[in-house]
A and B are shown apart, each in its own frame.
Chain A
Amino acid sequence: AQTVTQSQPEMSVQEAETVTLSCTYDTSENNYYLFWYKQPPSRQMILVIRQEAYKQQNATENRFSVNFQKAAKSFSLKISDSQLGDTAMYFCAFTPTGANNLFFGTGTRLTVIP
């Protein structure tokens, strides 16, 4: 079974500070992809960053970076220089290579405080 766990239901961060959202997953697959999606209030889900499991180098996208620890099955998201527009639900998601669907965690609600 594939499961994704986000243990932080809510987090807050001061504007311009750094915050890290945690995600762990459970799978017996060796090849897979991991994603962080952002869902702003009343707006659609957008991809923040993705990581291929076969790549040891952590993915980065501007202010967003991940800490991928394959052995620990951990995939945390770091947001640097937090902005008010970062306020959203953040979902960690996983898909085995060749699978046809994403498995999502329950999300972390992030609030950026001015």
Chain B
Amino acid sequence: DTGVSQNPRHKITKRGQNVTFRCDPISEHNRLYWYRQTLGQGPEFLTYFQNEAQLEKSRLLSDRFSAERPKGSFSTLEIQRTEQGDSAMYLCASSFDLDRRLDTQYFGPGTRLTVL
């Protein structure tokens, strides 16, 4: 399987705990994106990496959220001191931008976070 993978697929945690999610993009893709999707809504952009550099962050990404892509391959998204409002599906996507016309984002299956 050469698609975008995400782990874990489901995470249940108690309010106040820290959680970390992992995303493995398609291997030749240099761009990586994180989105959050709440029930009944479309995905909302959180942040974007070009190789290992985090180039854009949404205002939705509070200081409790941090994302890394240390070697320009996989990425992690950490949420500290989780709140019930953080309950959502966290989606990762990747793309390849050598030719902007080919910059279609391919999505992973998501990590569903439930904060009790």
Interface residues of A (CB under 8 A from B): 4, 35, 37, 43-47, 50, 52, 91, 93, 97-98, 100-107
- Starting from the known contacts A35-B104, A106-B42, 16 additional A-B residue pairs (CB-CB under 8 Å) come to A37-B107, A44-B108, A45-B91, A46-B107, A47-B106, A50-B104, A52-B101, A91-B43, A100-B48, A100-B55, A102-B33, A102-B45, A105-B42, A106-B41, A107-B41, A107-B42
A–B pairs, 9, beta carbons within 8 Å: A35-B104, A44-B4, A91-B42, A100-B31, A100-B33, A102-B43, A104-B43, A106-B40, A107-B41
Distance in angstroms between the alpha carbons of A107 and B42 in the assembled complex: 6
**B59 at the A/B interface (Cβ < 8 Å)?**
no
Q: Are B56 and A100 in contact (CB under 8 A)?
A: yes
Interface residues of B (CB under 8 A from A): 3-4, 31, 33, 35, 40-45, 48, 55-56, 58, 91, 100-101, 104-110
Least CB separation from B105: chain A residue: A102
Contact of B107 among A44, A52, A98, A103 (CB under 8 A): A44
Least CB separation from B46: chain A residue: A101
Name the A residues within 8 Å of B31 (CB-CB).
Answer: 100
Distance in angstroms between the alpha carbons of A44 and B90 in the assembled complex: 11
Distance in angstroms between the alpha carbons of A37 and B44 in the assembled complex: 14
Name the B residues within 8 Å of A104 (CB-CB).
Answer: 42-44
Instruction: Tell me the minimal C-beta distance from A66 to chain B in angstroms.
Output: 15
Distance in angstroms between the alpha carbons of A93 and B44 in the assembled complex: 11
Least CB separation from A103: chain B residue: B45
Name the B residues within 8 Å of A107 (CB-CB).
Answer: 40-42
The answer to whether residues A43 and B109 also contact, given A104-B43, A106-B40 and a CB cut-off of 8 A, is yes
